[in-house]
Amino acid sequence: GAGVSQSPSNKVTEKGKDVELRCDPISGHTALYWYRQSLGQGLEFLIYFQGNSAPDKSGLPSDRFSAERTGGSVSTLTIQRTQQEDSAVYLCASSPAEGISTDTQYFGPGTRLTVL
């Protein structure tokens, strides 16, 4: 079956430009997560959507970062006025969870963002 997909797989942009990264979760999954993985580092939590609840934005590093999830499915992570330190792999994950007891996350392949 179809897994989590992300697009584009690679994105090169110039400093100061805005970028949008897309995540298509597994159909029926209510939870969606965005993470950032810098070179050689672990995963840094960014934002979490659960059903119709207000998203948990506690991990967003600055107000240049925002995310939306339309219709409880597709999500877009937007980075405005990109900086070189934004260069990283951005991973999306979805989960069928209604709560943490079944919160096994399924990850997409990530988008590698390079800011020149």
Toward other proteins, which CB reaches closer, 43 or 74? Answer: 43
- Say if residues 5 and 107 touch (Cβ distance below 8 Å): no
- Tokens 């948990």, located at residue: 56
Count of residues in contact with other proteins, rule CB under 8 A: 23
Nearest CB to other proteins, comparing residues 1 and 71: 1
> Which of 11, 30, 43, 66 is in the footprint of other proteins by CB under 8 A?
43
- Rounded to whole angstroms, the Cα distance separating 108 from 78 reads 17
CA 109 to mean position of chain CA atoms: 11
- Token representation of residue 15: 């400093």
Q: Which residues bind other proteins (CB under 8 A)?
A: 33, 35, 41-45, 48, 89, 91, 93, 99-101, 103-110, 112
